[in-house]
Structure 1
Amino acid sequence: MSKHKKKSPSINQVLTQLVLDIFEQNGNTPLNYKQVSAKLNVRDPEARDTIYDILKEETFKQVLKEVSPGKFQLIELKTFIEGTVDLTTDGSAFIVTDDPDENDIYVAPRKLRNALNGDRVKVYVYAKSKGRRKEGEVIEILQRAKMEFTGIVKLSEHYAFFIPDDRKMLHDIFIPMAELNGAKNGIKAIAEIIDWPAQAKNPVGRIKHILGVQGDNDTEMNAILAEYGFPLSFPAEVEHEAESIADDITPQEIAKRKDYRDVTTFTIDPFDAKDFDDALSFKILENGNYEVGVHIADVSHYIIPDSALDKEAFDRGTSVYLVDRVIPMLPERLSNGLCSLRPNEDKLCFAALFELDEKANIISEWFGKTVIHSNRRFTYEEVQQVIETKEGDYRDEILKLNELAYILRERKFKAGAISFETTEVKFRLDEKGKPTGVYIKERKDAHKLIEDFMLLANRKVAEFVSKKGKGQHKYTFVYRTHDSPKPDALASFANFASRFGYKINTKSDKEIARSLNYLMEDVEGKKEQNVLTHLAIRSMAKAIYTTKTSSHYGLAFDHYTHFTSPIRRYPDVMVHRLLEHYLHGGQSVNAEHYEKLCQHASQMEKRAADAERASVKYKQAEFLQDQIGEVYSGVISGVTEWGMYVEIIENKCEGMIRLRDISDDFYTLDEKNYQIIGQRKKKVYRLGDEVKIRVKNVDLAKKQIDFSLVQD
């Protein structure tokens, strides 16, 4: 039938894809060559003949089938899937589906339909040709990940644009002059998308909040909070609700609780803490055993379910700890006042009381409401001094608690817990928030003492509820769970660790834990400590909140929860409410409802951690801004196809050496072996290697530090 000359392969290929797209876009309705031509607006007889040839050829290849004479249809029907947009820097995206066994779906830029990074979308997946990756097209945006962005206002005479900070937001936002809200050129602000017309390249927005001058400390810290979706202040209704809560504790309320006001009780916290949500009580019993009380601020007494305060706390999910400030989950009146277990004040608590013998065996336990009167507010440093000098306030109590904590800790590690001691970087800041120095925060016995008793309370509360009900009728609860590492991730880490002379035994969970603990002990203080610790943590699964009763691998606990920090974590508030409900004989609550609350809490926890990391990166960049040209020794902390990350040994600041800037060879990534290799000279740079770097460039806006390699 066709008399035309053959087209070039590339043109034919494009036309073939357009033809197949027509079937996909029309619900795979059977079509003949004239109908396909019409839908492609093709009227030329020769071109229509070409389309007929393509239909026949794709039928021969078994991509199409001829369902009736001259009518064709795709063999593999299109399928609809839902997923999350993971945008790439070139404007295309991969759609990450909910099914972990399903491959990501590639979507070309022109088929994204204005979907943005993180959006929940509905995609239809094209019929897959042999050997091709799955591709698709966004047909509906189900839920926007965010509509607000931080960035810089750029003004011209008749209009304005907003340049977002988010590197995965590839569209500038058009701001009509009437929607500027007083913003001036170059100012940092928060913009909200209010419309995105169908044919428009850019969304339309309005300036919602002016943050201030770019580079100012408050401006930048508030921008980080806004970027990760944390509000900069509490709504008036929430503040009003907090202020209206009565200060006094009534005799009737005290009568409902165990009165611990005459029992020795104290708090141990960082020197700059203002919210004290846990206290320890200690007394020697008549039988010679010890009673240790873990008393936790009774936040759920003050926050009524579904109140404005409760909804705000749930939305935030957690307090956020940036380099220079804490953004509390609860208004200051509660977090630093009513709920904070300040010394020499009566305070309401939810407690876990334990009777322990000399060997820290638990003889009995009790959970319920208490009222306390803290005798002393200790800092970690003060308690550490008591432990080391055996002198000071409450010396006997502290030394005995430390002794019992040591036994609990030892028992935990024998059971297979893993000790990850990462170095925590802290900045010395001047009055304007500018970093003047960097130091490493040490974790000593005082920190571990508190941690071990908090772990005990969390574990025992979880075990107590887990025993309620049987089989499918187990009581719903909020657990903190942590899966065992995936074998391939662990094998990869073990292979890498072996290069430094560390052996990881992967025969069983217990052996893995034991050898990881030996490694963590051995590596302490060595240059490769941070690299190996972070890689080990990355090979582990992430801990999450869930109603499902699985174990906590990292702590080697069969059941675990978060009970001890309700001032700064919403899941702990849920745990308090559920525990009280069950202690009073309540029946199991709806698991599906609580699982959704847990998912939100896990998401907000991750978001807070990302914001905290961003604030550290900003301060690192700010610290090195005045040190362009300085030479430091560093350790290679990461390798990618475009460069290698190096962490400066002296101050733990991390930057990148771009491969294109290493002039002695052409380097490529060997991903499997965590290294880059020179193609001609075969010089290798491995993760963990020590190198000399020069600070080349600092981009504060992008929180980016560039190094150049100082070669021998």
Structure 2
Amino acid sequence: MHEDIVAVQLLEKDNWVAPSSVVLQDDGESEDIEVVEEKEKMLKNVEKRTAKPSGRVVGIIKRNWRPYCGMLSKSQIKESTRHLFTPADRSIPRIRIETRQASVLEGQRIIVAIDGWPRNSRYPNGHFVKNLGAAGDKETETEVLLLEHDVPHQPFSQAVLSFLPKMPWSITPEDMKHRVDLRHLYVCSVDPPGCTDIDDALHCRELENGNLEVGVHIADVSHFIRPGNALDQESSNRGTTVYLCDKRIDMVPDLLSSNLCSLRSQVDRLAFSCIWEISHDAKIIHTTYTKSVINSKASLTYAEAQMRIDSPDMNDEITKSLRLLNKLAKILKKQRIDNGALTLSSPEVRFHMDSETHDPIDLQTKELKETNSMVEEFMLLANISVAQKIYEEFSEYALLRKHPAPPPGNYDILVKAASSKNLEIKTDCAKALADSLDTAESEEFPYLNTLLRILATRCMMQAVYFCSGMDSDFHHYGLASPIYTHFTSPIRRYADVIVHRLLAAAIGADCTYPDLTDKQKIAEICKNINFRHKMAQYSQRASVAFHTQLFFKNKGIVNEEGYILFVRKKCACGIDPKVWFRRHGLL
């Protein structure tokens, strides 16, 4: 099975084979066992071209079986109890099951577990476990994508909830130990519309010496989640908050994510602050890290913040702060890009839901404003500053984030696409790539640069968390930074909670504990949160794909302009795409 750990015996060279040119598509249509066995014989007709090292599986070291979601392919033989189950995950083979409920289960999303896999059978044997609901139903399909991507989404247990603070909650004198009171500052948050889990806020003011003071204030989640208890263990297991089109799967209970840890306006909140003294040309003079208490003066959307910056009639303290922040952010961004940081593109869409049915009624590409970039620059600066600090104090145990440089071959698709338009993309280093993307433009095809940046994103490696004592390459390729971590979103990322604990111990605001200075433990945490982060990304994409399907389901003929990014060697149906395009008069 996919991701089983197996032992493979290398065959003698005379027995090496090449990949078959025959496409045997397992398309999920209802088939009888006899038909399947006839197809299995076709597999033996493998064309021997340029042979490659070949082997055979001689043992299963570790199974990776789990319950699978999918649909029943009912046998066409009347009264038959033997049927095939087609998993939603196309990397998993179909499963033979026996059930007398086939008529009831047809057209339903069901869960099947595997019992075993006979040596001489193409398919494993299994049994029916649970009916999830009708295929195509929104709740059912959401449940399937969460299960298939292994996203923990069960309600928080009573054991977990028992470690939440008792309400009503207020800041006590004990909470103020090792904290500074910053409630007098004109702090504000800038987030997407409807955001309730606000974990970062900003301020900027002029100092008497002519320099500027800039503060990034992050929700102090680690104050409420103490090491080792059930709440901590559940947050660690979940690893990240998952944002689907129509719902959010929180990493921490709602009392924390949308209330006590959310830096909402006009309420006192505990924070962890990174404060710089900075010159008007964005040179950092001094950095301070401190636990704090803040009172945000405004919770703004990106559009509202942009309106304040642009409005000549607004000159209140919050607006002045935003203008200074925006000015500095532009300088910081230019410095990053000059150092070789990449500006890539990943098209994101926002769905507008019907208030009653919750079905998508409109979709649009997310519009990015200057204020999006403003917030991003200071979050990046805070993450880099904190990474340097925790590595100085805990060189063996710092939880960091790196982005490996892609192998040269990864860029082939990008270089080929650009050369088709007589453009050259240089990939020697991040700086060369960034510069050549900046100049890769076409007057007759203005969208070309965006397409190339989308393709460049596809060429990148996955950024990963790691323990500093177990790696020597810290470089973040995309940001062109020698060191990086995540500090700014502890409500929605467990990595940030660990980084907060390391930083608190580094400045003497909290004590350390054994697992925090154990390389193996930190490495285990990194492995889990890397997996959870990847699965969250996949489930979010699956949610967008499903809602896009729902949106177009009842539309008539819609004419829109589209762009082909690349053409694969084989379609899902096994047909050469060029043949398909010619057949439909598109080539």
- TM tier, smaller: 0.7 to 0.9
Which position in structure 2 is the counterpart of 1:435?
360
Residues 201 and 414 from structure 1, CA distance in 2 versus in 1: closer, same or farther, beyond 3 angstroms? closer
Which position in structure 2 is the counterpart of 1:109?
none
AA of the residue aligned to 1:483: P
User: Is the contact between residue 204 and residue 215 of structure 2 (CA under 8 Å) also seen in structure 1?
Assistant: yes
CA shift for structure 1 position 128 = 3.9
Residues 204 and 588 from structure 1, CA distance in 2 versus in 1: closer, same or farther, beyond 3 angstroms? closer
Is 1:453 paired with 2:338? Answer: no
CA shift for structure 1 position 288 = 2.3
Which position in structure 2 is the counterpart of 1:497?
418
Residues 496 and 330 from structure 1, CA distance in 2 versus in 1: closer, same or farther, beyond 3 angstroms? same
Cα distance in 1 for partners of 2:179, 2:130 equals 46
CA shift for structure 1 position 277 = 0.6
Which position in structure 2 is the counterpart of 1:651?
none
Cα distance in 2 for partners of 1:391, 1:422 equals 35
Which position in structure 2 is the counterpart of 1:211?
132
Unaligned runs of 5+ in 2: 17-51
Alignment of 1:174-253 (within 5 A): 174=97, 186-193=107-114, 210-241=131-162, 243=164, 245=166, 247-253=169-175
Which position in structure 1 is the counterpart of 2:333?
409
Q: Cα RMSD (Å) of the superposition?
A: 3.3
Is 1:423 paired with 2:308? Answer: no
User: Is the contact between residue 455 and residue 565 of structure 2 (CA under 8 Å) also seen in structure 1?
Assistant: no
Is 1:360 paired with 2:282? Answer: yes
Is 1:338 paired with 2:260? Answer: yes
Cα distance in 2 for partners of 1:663, 1:161 equals 29
TM-score between both structures, scaled by the size of structure 1: 0.68
Which position in structure 1 is the counterpart of 2:526?
598
Alignment of 1:281-680 (within 5 A): 281-392=203-314, 394-430=318-354, 431-468=356-393, 474-490=395-411, 492-519=413-440, 526-547=446-467, 548-584=472-508, 589-627=517-555, 630-643=558-571
Cα distance in 2 for partners of 1:343, 1:633 equals 43
CA shift for structure 1 position 659 = 9.0
- Which secondary structure state, in structure 1, belongs to the residue aligned with residue 390 of structure 2? helix
Cα distance in 1 for partners of 2:212, 2:564 equals 49
Cα distance in 1 for partners of 2:85, 2:435 equals 53
TM-score between both structures, scaled by the size of structure 2: 0.82
- Which secondary structure state, in structure 2, belongs to the residue aligned with residue 394 of structure 1? helix
AA of the residue aligned to 1:339: C
Q: Per-residue displacement from partner, 1:61-106 (whole Å, max 9, x unpaired)? A: xxxxxxxxxxxxxxxxxxxxxxxxxxxxxxxxxxxxxxxxxxxxxx
Further displaced range: 605-614 or 301-310: 301-310
Which position in structure 2 is the counterpart of 1:129?
14
Structure 1 residue corresponding to 2:69, chosen from 149, 165, 169: 149
User: Is the contact between residue 86 and residue 93 of structure 2 (CA under 8 Å) also seen in structure 1?
Assistant: no
Alignment of 1:11-22 (within 5 A): none
Cα distance in 1 for partners of 2:237, 2:444 equals 39
User: Is the contact between residue 549 and residue 559 of structure 1 (CA under 8 Å) also seen in structure 2?
Assistant: no
AA of the residue aligned to 1:532: L
User: Is the contact between residue 71 and residue 106 of structure 2 (CA under 8 Å) also seen in structure 1?
Assistant: no
User: Is the contact between residue 318 and residue 329 of structure 1 (CA under 8 Å) also seen in structure 2?
Assistant: yes
Residues 245 and 552 from structure 1, CA distance in 2 versus in 1: closer, same or farther, beyond 3 angstroms? farther
Which position in structure 1 is the counterpart of 2:43?
none
Cα distance in 2 for partners of 1:589, 1:665 equals 59
Q: Which has the larger radius of gyration?
A: 1
Structure 2 residue corresponding to 1:266, chosen from 188, 203, 208: 188
CA shift for structure 1 position 433 = 3.2
Cα distance in 2 for partners of 1:533, 1:545 equals 24
Which position in structure 2 is the counterpart of 1:16?
none
- Which secondary structure state, in structure 1, belongs to the residue aligned with residue 62 of structure 2? strand
- Which secondary structure state, in structure 2, belongs to the residue aligned with residue 479 of structure 1? strand
User: Is the contact between residue 322 and residue 611 of structure 1 (CA under 8 Å) also seen in structure 2?
Assistant: yes
Residues 641 and 158 from structure 1, CA distance in 2 versus in 1: closer, same or farther, beyond 3 angstroms? closer
CA shift for structure 1 position 642 = 2.4
Which position in structure 1 is the counterpart of 2:200?
278
CA shift for structure 1 position 129 = 3.4
Residues 535 and 356 from structure 1, CA distance in 2 versus in 1: closer, same or farther, beyond 3 angstroms? same
Higher relative contact order by CA 8 Å / sep ≥ 6: 1 or 2? 2
Cα distance in 1 for partners of 2:131, 2:444 equals 45
Residues 333 and 587 from structure 1, CA distance in 2 versus in 1: closer, same or farther, beyond 3 angstroms? closer
Cα distance in 1 for partners of 2:558, 2:160 equals 48
Unaligned runs of 5+ in 1: 1-115, 644-657, 669-709
Cα distance in 2 for partners of 1:187, 1:339 equals 41
Further displaced range: 324-333 or 659-668: 659-668
CA shift for structure 1 position 452 = 0.5
CA shift for structure 1 position 570 = 1.2
Cα distance in 1 for partners of 2:251, 2:444 equals 34
Cα distance in 1 for partners of 2:13, 2:533 equals 38
Q: Whose strand proportion is higher, 1 or 2?
A: 1
Residues 661 and 512 from structure 1, CA distance in 2 versus in 1: closer, same or farther, beyond 3 angstroms? closer
